[in-house]
């Protein structure tokens, strides 16, 4: 059901800890992986092709999708995090940055992935949401509202492709064991956090031909 052998998979945000973990997992699953990161070289993984693109910039995203083969699946891990702060201390610049990193990038990726999938009449788009979007008690407003926008985007995109062979879904992590998260929360129980490798199976499933009946899902992990 999750046979991805030879299928072209574009992984956006491949320079981050989650993205790099997914690049490794999809390559091990036999996929033809293209690792995309903002900075050249950040997504370098032995044996995996890489491209650089700023997916918060529409022209950069358009150029990327125009020059690469049509992917079977696009996995989007582009994003950023901002800690909790009182709304009375709202940092407007931080809010704008979070909306750009999390929501704008997802919308741009969706636009060009959908155009690309339309050429073949099939495809899988998997975004990365966050449990903070639906349970924001311990999350900052800027981060949680930007991820809530991603959930809304997934629902709207899934409705648009209903009745086709294109599927749009999301994975919604509570926390991931990454160096950045450890640095942000030094007192937390890091050993209880799932690693990118632990989460990879969920992404692989949603990207697979076997997930053809799943559309508009947000899978908590």
Q: Please calculate the CA angle 13-19-21 and round it to the nearest 5 degrees.
A: 170
Which architecture does CATH list for 8-220? 3-Layer(aba) Sandwich (3.40)
Q: Is the pLDDT of residue 149 over 80?
A: yes
Question: Model's pTM, two decimal places?
Answer: 0.94
User: Which residues are 168's β-sheet partners?
Assistant: 125
Q: For 45-104, how does the pLDDT look when each residue is reduced to its tens digit (9 = 90+)? A: 778 999 999 999 999 999 999 999 999 999 999 999 988 999 999 999 999 999 999 999
SS3 category, 165: strand
Average pLDDT over residues 29-48: 85
Return the domain boundaries, the chain: 8-220
Confidence (pLDDT) at 1: 45
4-13, 116-125, 130-139, 204-213: which has the minimum mean pLDDT?
Answer: 130-139
C-alpha dist (Å) from residue 184 to 81, 142, 180, 196: 10, 16, 6, 17
Q: Is the pLDDT of residue 44 over 50?
A: yes
Residue 32 contacts residue 90 (beta carbons within 8 Å): no
SS3 category, 55: coil
- Per the model's pLDDT, the better-predicted residue between 176 and 35 turns out to be 35
Confidence (pLDDT) at 41: 67
Confidence (pLDDT) at 144: 95
Percentage of the chain lying above the pLDDT 90 cut: 78
Rounded to an integer, what distance in angstroms lies between the CA atom of residue 85 and that of residue 91?
9
Average pLDDT over residues 21-39: 95
Q: In the predicted model, what is the mean pLDDT of the chain?
A: 93
């Amino acid at each position: 059901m999750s046979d991805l052998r030879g299928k072209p998979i574009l992984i956006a945000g491949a320079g981050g800890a989650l993205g790099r973990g997914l690049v490794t997992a999809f390559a091990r699953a036999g996929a033809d992986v293209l690792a995309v990161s903002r900075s050249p070289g950040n997504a370098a993984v032995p044996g995996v092709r890489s491209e650089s693109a700023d997916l918060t910039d529409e022209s950069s995203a358009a150029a990327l999708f125009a020059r690469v083969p049509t992917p079977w699946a696009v996995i989007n891990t582009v994003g950023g995090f901002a800690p909790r702060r009182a709304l009375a201390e709202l940092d407007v610049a931080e809010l704008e940055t979070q909306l750009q990193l999390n929501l704008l990038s997802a919308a741009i990726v969706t636009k060009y992935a959908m155009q690309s999938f339309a050429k073949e009449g099939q495809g899988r788009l998997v975004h990365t949401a966050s449990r903070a979007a639906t349970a924001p008690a311990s999350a900052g407003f800027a981060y949680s509202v930007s991820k809530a926008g991603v959930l809304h985007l997934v629902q709207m995109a899934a409705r648009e492709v209903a009745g086709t062979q294109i599927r749009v879904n999301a994975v919604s992590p509570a926390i991931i064991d990454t160096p950045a998260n450890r640095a942000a929360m030094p007192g937390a129980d890091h050993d209880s956090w799932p690693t990118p490798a632990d989460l990879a199976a969920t992404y692989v499933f949603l990207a697979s031909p076997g997930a053809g009946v799943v559309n508009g899902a947000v899978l908590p992990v």
